[in-house]
A and B are shown apart, each in its own frame.
Chain A
Amino acid sequence: MSKKLFLFLSLMVVFATLLAACASPATPAGDSGQPQATTASGEETAQKVTLRVLVHQNPPMVAFMESFNQQFQDRHPNITVDMSIVNANDLSTVSQTRLSANDIDVLDIFGFANGAQPYMKQVDPPNWQQLIEAGLLMDLTGQDFLQYYDTPTINDAGSYNGKVYAINLGRVIYSGIFYNKKLFEEYNVTVPTTWSELVAACETFKAADIPCMTAGGKDGWPIFVGAYGLLGAIYPDQAALVEGLWTGTIKWNDEKSLEMWRKMQVYARDMMEEGASGIAGDAAPGRFASGAVAMFPGGSWYAPAIEAAQPDFDWGYIPFPGSDNPEDNKYWFGKYDQGWAVAANTPNKEAALLYLKEFSEPANYQAFVDAVGFIPTQPTAKLNTKIGAEIAPYLANFRVGYEQYWVAPKGAGQYANPWASYFKPFGTFDDPQELADKVQADLQAGLDAVK
């Protein structure tokens, strides 16, 4: 080979490699990169469209979405729904990445929460606010389908600066306990309405060699989420609790809070079954439905999974009785769960809005809440589910919980949270006073740092 030919070939290889590296990926005909034309109705799409939808992992919800997507595609043969599923912990990161890459049309977004309050100092805006301010979420104000949802939900869980950016699809409760009706009858245990009754019930079951409670402790938070009932019994106004912690009028080691820590220790040490830390969040409903455990403190969203695991299993759901006064225990604490938002830069705007419109139609929405067990955010929808019937008696007392208000001050230590999992056997603490002092010290360090 002559030297000139060799040089020429070398240059060709170099430029071919560089060009290949810089080239855009091939886009198949009719793929989502193509903006679709609209018909006279403004709703139907003329060209083939792939609508990219992102949801978080929640088995009954995913099952419903698969059937809804099929129905949607049957009605609109030119639209193909490409649904991706991610773990709930990764949803915000994946949303951010795919929105930035303009690689998503419709996304699952949790109810807007953890916003900065006037009494908070040096806090960063929550991720949903960052996405809106970066212009990545579409303004949905004025869309017809908003009329189906109740106004407080639109305002509290999907609006920012007077504009609507998300429709929220349901509220969930995280301060309740599922209980095994058969075991309660068999051991003649009354359903507890006070803390003392709950302690007595656990002692009865443990004496019979039956674990009192289980939870999906492998995922961390399920160990302590049920115990938010303890927090709620002492501080029913959780927005005020967060303000009190920030302004110093409430301390995690004052006498009132200390009562909560003492009870949390009993919860972690005496009520939770040994080995709960190894059970995955998704596996816990199955463990409870197996009938081996008397109670399962956890969110109302677990109900469909319990029913799916053992359709004949007889269970009930009660507020976590954190107080010895039954009146203090008649509250549900929870959050706005899943919602829909649309990417501001989607090339498939018509299809995306059509997707939300059809999803929001009362019949479809009713089927959705029936499948996932959410408390509806459409006023015309009914609580048809078993969990709905269990929740209904105290539904008027639903309150948004502590986790949706709390924003940790920068500089706060890692223990500045009211979590039962800090106690042995899951954590290192054995003394409520010692833990309360540590939690307050970690919080105070942050408050002092941002003064």
Chain B
Amino acid sequence: MSYHFGRGWSKLTPYFLLLPGLFFYFLISLGPSMATAIYSFTDATGIKGAPVHWIGFDNYREFLFMGRASLDNLDALKRTLIFSFMVTTVQFTLGLIVALIVNQRLRFSNIFRTIYFMPVILGVVIQGLMWSLFLFPIGGPVAKLLEVFGMRSEFLGGQPAEAFAWVTFIQIWANLGITMMIFIAGLQTIPSELYEAARIDGASAWQVFTNVTWPLLTPSVNTNLLLNTIGSLQAWQLFLVLLGYRNGTQVLGYLIYATGFGQTSGSVTTSFRQGYAAAASIVLFLLVLVIGMTLQQLLQRREKRILG
């Protein structure tokens, strides 16, 4: 379909209409991203009036290669990848299973959809507060449950690995609803005749799923995989709300926030180091870019193979 806006200057009408959107895109998204890339090569503090010096790759050298701190940063990078893998696989699988169940013509299925989706609208602070209360180690509901089995835990304040596992679980709980909704939308686009035909041909439930549902869900599968992967690589808010600055639990996104915004433990006065935080952001950006692009290529190839 093509639109005609006339001749001469009138032809430019659609471009003029695009201008406000482009302006805001540059102002809010692309501009700050480019500024971050430039700042990463400086000693910028983020303070108005403070001198900014070009220091080349020093921030990157410090982040990736300087002393034990750089190894801690690489640990955070590894933790980010583990977090992303766990969240993506579990959230994707659970989201699909839940979507398949609530998409059935069952009584109260709308109520269950709402219940599963509800955590999404709560917001990170409320989600964090809720789980802090659930996991309160002195008489909290989960602590009481463990007591029945003669067990106890410090939960979010205990061993870093356990605290990290709880945040992973809460991240999945918080975002499962979005994955489910995307799958439900995909399921509802599959023509019911295909199911009827498969049943008439004597296909089992598993055969119907593998030969009808799964291939035709490909666009939803791709969307969910990309959203889950990129979202979990960038996650940091739940780490801030639930754990704060704790050794052995930080992911890259939180490390950037803590560095850029002076989050510390105790009353030590720190420095403003936004140039350094910008370099860490670029490292995360490159990680997301490489993983995101590779995944997108693979998914597009798969989509082409299945749907033509």
Answer whether A and B are interacting partners.
Answer: yes
Kindly list chain A residues whose C-beta atoms are within 8 Å of the C-beta of B68.
411-414, 416, 441-442, 445-446
Contact of A93 (CB < 8 Å), options: B19, B62, B245, B262: B262
CB of A385 within 8 A of chain B? no
Contact indicator A410/B158 (Cβ below 8 Å): no
Query: Scoring A residues 277 to 305 as 1 if CB is less than 8 Å from chain B, else 0, what string do you get?
Result: 11100000000000000000000000000
CB of A4 within 8 A of chain B? yes
Contact indicator B23/A335 (Cβ below 8 Å): no
Q: B160 to chain A: closest CB distance in Å?
A: 6
CB of B140 within 8 A of chain A? yes
Contact indicator A277/B66 (Cβ below 8 Å): no
CB of A166 within 8 A of chain B? no
**Total number of B residues with any Cβ neighbor in A under 8 Å:** 59
* C-alpha spacing A449/B64, complex, angstroms: 13
* C-alpha spacing A413/B66, complex, angstroms: 10
Contact indicator A125/B137 (Cβ below 8 Å): no
Question: Which of A62-70, A360-368, A423-431 contacts the other chain?
Answer: A423-431
Interface of chain A: mostly helix, strand, loop or mixed: helix
CB of B132 within 8 A of chain A? yes
Question: Which of A27-35, A133-141, A179-187 contacts the other chain?
Answer: A133-141
Question: Who on chain A is nearest to B160 by CB?
Answer: A428
Question: Which of A5-13, A198-206, A243-251, A322-330 contacts the other chain?
Answer: A5-13
Contact indicator B143/A275 (Cβ below 8 Å): yes
Contact of A221 (CB < 8 Å), options: B46, B66, B69, B266: B266
Given known A-B contacts A100-B48, A445-B69, A278 and B155 have beta carbons under 8 A apart: yes
Question: Who on chain B is nearest to A6 by CB?
Answer: B13
CB of B112 within 8 A of chain A? no
**From A93, A275, A335, residue with most partner B Cβ within 10 Å:** A275
Kindly list chain A residues whose C-beta atoms are within 8 Å of the C-beta of B154.
274-275, 277-278, 425-426
CB of B104 within 8 A of chain A? no
CB of B209 within 8 A of chain A? no
Contact indicator B157/A218 (Cβ below 8 Å): yes
CB of A127 within 8 A of chain B? yes
CB of B261 within 8 A of chain A? yes
Contact indicator B48/A412 (Cβ below 8 Å): no
Given known A-B contacts A275-B137, A411-B62, A218 and B23 have beta carbons under 8 A apart: no
Contact of B9 (CB < 8 Å), options: A7, A90, A403, A413: A7
Contact indicator B5/A3 (Cβ below 8 Å): yes
Query: Scoring B residues 1 to 39 as 1 if CB is less than 8 Å from chain A, else 0, what string do you get?
Result: 000011001100100110110011001000000000000
Of residues 39 through 61 on chain B, the ones whose CB sits less than 8 Å from some CB of chain A are: 45-50
Kindly list chain A residues whose C-beta atoms are within 8 Å of the C-beta of B248.
427-428
Q: B49 to chain A: closest CB distance in Å?
A: 4
Given known A-B contacts A100-B46, A130-B45, A278-B155, A10 and B17 have beta carbons under 8 A apart: yes
Query: Scoring A residues 98 to 130 as 1 if CB is less than 8 Å from chain B, else 0, what string do you get?
Result: 011100000000100110000000001111101
CB of A207 within 8 A of chain B? no
Q: A134 to chain B: closest CB distance in Å?
A: 4
Of residues 260 through 297 on chain B, the ones whose CB sits less than 8 Å from some CB of chain A are: 261-273
* C-alpha spacing A406/B268, complex, angstroms: 7
Question: Who on chain B is nearest to A4 by CB?
Answer: B10
Question: Which of A14-22, A36-44, A256-264 contacts the other chain?
Answer: A14-22
Q: A82 to chain B: closest CB distance in Å?
A: 21
Given known A-B contacts A13-B20, A406-B268, A422-B247, A100 and B47 have beta carbons under 8 A apart: yes
Question: Who on chain A is nearest to B246 by CB?
Answer: A220
* C-alpha spacing A21/B25, complex, angstroms: 12
Kindly list chain B residues whose C-beta atoms are within 8 Å of the C-beta of A219.
244
* C-alpha spacing A221/B254, complex, angstroms: 18
Of residues 147 through 202 on chain B, the ones whose CB sits less than 8 Å from some CB of chain A are: 152, 154-160
CB of A254 within 8 A of chain B? no
Contact indicator A412/B270 (Cβ below 8 Å): no
Q: B290 to chain A: closest CB distance in Å?
A: 26
CB of B145 within 8 A of chain A? no
Contact indicator A110/B6 (Cβ below 8 Å): no
* C-alpha spacing A165/B233, complex, angstroms: 42
Contact indicator A110/B67 (Cβ below 8 Å): no
Of residues 221 through 259 on chain A, the ones whose CB sits less than 8 Å from some CB of chain B are: 221, 224-225
Given known A-B contacts A114-B268, A218-B132, A18 and B20 have beta carbons under 8 A apart: yes
CB of B138 within 8 A of chain A? yes
Given known A-B contacts A3-B5, A6-B5, A17-B20, A278 and B67 have beta carbons under 8 A apart: no
Kindly list chain B residues whose C-beta atoms are within 8 Å of the C-beta of A126.
269-271
CB of B122 within 8 A of chain A? no
* C-alpha spacing A425/B159, complex, angstroms: 7
Q: B202 to chain A: closest CB distance in Å?
A: 56
Contact indicator B267/A403 (Cβ below 8 Å): yes
Given known A-B contacts A220-B265, A279-B138, A411-B68, A131 and B47 have beta carbons under 8 A apart: yes
Q: Could you list some 21 contacts between A and B, CB below 8 A?
A: A13-B17, A13-B20, A14-B20, A17-B20, A18-B19, A21-B24, A100-B49, A114-B268, A124-B271, A130-B271, A136-B48, A174-B267, A220-B266, A277-B137, A277-B155, A277-B156, A278-B137, A410-B67, A411-B68, A426-B157, A445-B69
CB-based closest 4 A-B pairs: A277-B157, A411-B67, A413-B68, A445-B68
